[in-house]
Amino acid sequence: MAIVNYGLFWQREEVNWKPGQGGQFRLLGRNGVNKPGLRVADFREQTGVYILYGNYGVFRVGIVTESRLGIRLRDHHTNYSEHEWDRFSWFGFRAVDWSPDETGVCGLNDTRYLDAEAWIRDIESLLIRAMGPTGQRIENFRYEERWEQVPESDAVYWLNKVRPAGDD
């Protein structure tokens, strides 16, 4: 598998875990600032590795193998207080599709695979980014896209920017 995208130190409080009647929570990220390069994606169904952080560093680490990063994070949100973890990073195996849906949000493609040597290099890069050692340079992933969190308070703004023309 290849780490093809990631989000670093997203804020737990910036996810609307319980959006209300009929709504599903989203794990929105953005890549870019303006069209045509701007994309918004929902990472709820991502597979990969995640790390929960609290005031004293790493609180919990997990692997998601069945398209349910969002569910795992929501379970941890429900089971652990904000005093135990308040940030999370994730490293995903499914690339973001370039073709958005009717709301402008991009979906996820199938898992991408690497040879053993490239996979080991990706693991090294993951550890460096997750742990932040000061004496080591950051290694790149073979396929790399960093995604910034779309805070729930800014979701409408970013979704309006990617909404297809004529959907006003």
CA atoms of 61 and 70, how far apart (whole Å): 14
Chain segment 5-29, per-residue pLDDT in tens: 999 999 999 998 887 666 778 999 9
The burial class, CB within 10 Å (0-12 / 13-18 / 19+), for 141 is: buried
What is the tally of helices (H) and strands (E) in the chain?
3, 9
Q: What is the pLDDT of residue 23?
A: 72
pTM for the model stands at 0.86
The residues spanned by each domain of the chain are 5-111+145-161
Instruction: For the chain, 168 residues long, give each residue's pLDDT as a single digit of tens.
Output: 788 999 999 999 999 888 766 677 899 999 999 988 899 999 999 999 999 999 888 999 999 988 799 999 999 999 988 889 999 999 999 999 989 999 999 999 988 776 788 778 888 888 888 877 677 777 777 777 999 999 999 999 999 999 987 655
Q: What is the pLDDT of residue 64?
A: 93
Q: Is the dihedral of CA 23, 28, 33, 36 positive or negative?
A: negative
